[in-house]
A and B are shown apart, each in its own frame.
Chain A
Amino acid sequence: MQKDDERLVHSRGEEFLQVFKKGAEFTQELLRENERLRFRVLELEKSQVSGEPAPAAELKKLNERIADLEQEKQEILDRIKHVEEENQDFAARYLEIEDENNNLANLYIASYQLHSTLDFKEVLQIITEIIINLIGAEEFAIMLLDEKSDELQAVATEGIERSEIPSFRLGKGIIGTVAQSGENHFASDFDSYERDFSAPMVCIPLKIKEHVIGVLAIYKLLMQKKEFAAVDYELFTLLAGHAATAIFSSRLYSDSERKLSTIQGFIDLLTK
């Protein structure tokens, strides 16, 4: 009986020992799992603290930034294009103003020269020089209106003999019409123009306000001057005005000088 009891105790002890061992193993396993999870928690906490975003979010953010920069770049390119267009406009305007300035300077010198003398022949010479050097004409005539006979006669020519130019009646033909109307005349086609004294390539009235004192008739341009530029037409009219005033003043002066000389002659005759 006692032996049975001892055997039972022993068996129970063995059983308890087995259970205890299993419990110990299970506890060990739990401790390892706990350790692994604690490590994982630490890792997650660490990544959260350093602020590193997940790769997908980072990519999205970068793509948005690229889109913004692309838009900004396009805006800058548009602005550059606009500024370049403005710049081209300014450059073109600068050239226009420079041309205008040159023409004004030429006109200033021409008018200064025209009004620098009261000698009729000298005035005609200066007009001739201006027409050659500034307008670029090779054959032309300066014709003045005789108000008594209503006829236009050449008083100076270049490239042609003065005797070759016939006189024209006021209101007749191109020259007479220009002198009567005071309107400029330009041949329709300079290339096919053939010299005709009664129909010049260009005919400009010499006017003092609305009073026409003569015309400038051009028959041929210098070979290098193929056509008139837009500014030439303006220059023509301005020069014609100054030329007319200079011719008129010099004629008045010459007439008064002549009269004075005649009177002086009479006085001398009477007093000596």
Chain B
Amino acid sequence: MSDYNVLIVEDSPTMRQLIAFALKRIRGVRIVEANDGVDGLKKLSSERFDLILTDINMPIMDGLKLVSLVRNDANYKTIPIVVITTEGAQEDRERALALGANDYITKPIQPTKILDVAKNLLRIA
């Protein structure tokens, strides 16, 4: 039985693996991967998650749309969401946070940064 269920929504398999590898340093974490926003919503409907990490630029449904849908759904609105993206502009960050993202990480990815943010949102000391 895992302590934390984490959903990674990212279209790049390499990127998904890099994020998963960083998160696996948290004890008791279980990772579920989704290819895009629609796949992410499908996975959300089938089980409970403690944290969502999502990219912005994805086919079919992008990350910002996913953030918006999750925040407007009473069943998922309390799940913390972290956006991981190449978009480094301040306005992109503000937009994501305004839609309800809890944190915003820019690429190139730094495993320690991902780990720190995830631990903080999962309330792990």
Taking Cβ atoms with an 8 Å cutoff, the residues of A that contact B are 98-99, 102, 105-106, 109-110, 112-113, 126, 129-130, 132-136, 138, 222-225
Contacts and interface: CB of A to CB of B under 8 A. Distances in A.
Interface stretch (B12-20, B39-47, B59-67, B72-80): B12-20
A133 B18 contact: yes
Interface of B: 12-15, 17-18, 21-22, 86, 88-89, 106-112
Given A102-B110, A113-B13, A134-B18, 11 more contacts: A99-B112, A106-B111, A109-B18, A110-B14, A133-B12, A133-B109, A134-B109, A136-B108, A222-B88, A223-B88, A225-B108
Contact of B88 (A102, A112, A224): A224
A14 to B, nearest CB: 113
Nearest to A127: B14
B21 A133 contact: no
10 contacts: A99-B112, A102-B22, A102-B112, A106-B18, A113-B13, A130-B14, A132-B86, A133-B108, A136-B108, A222-B88
A112 B13 CA distance: 11
Given A106-B18, A129-B14, A133-B14, A98 B108 contact: no
B110 A133 contact: no
B111 A136 contact: no
B88 to A, nearest CB: 3
Give chain A's interface secondary structure class: helix
A222 B112 contact: no
Contacts of A106: 18, 109, 111
Contacts of B17: 109, 112-113
A95 B108 CA distance: 19
A225 B108 CA distance: 8
A132 B109 CA distance: 9
A108 B22 CA distance: 12
B108 A223 contact: no
Contacts of A132: 86, 107-108
B89 A223 contact: yes
Contact of B107 (A105, A110, A126, A136): A136
Nearest to A98: B112
A223 B106 CA distance: 10
A132 B12 CA distance: 11
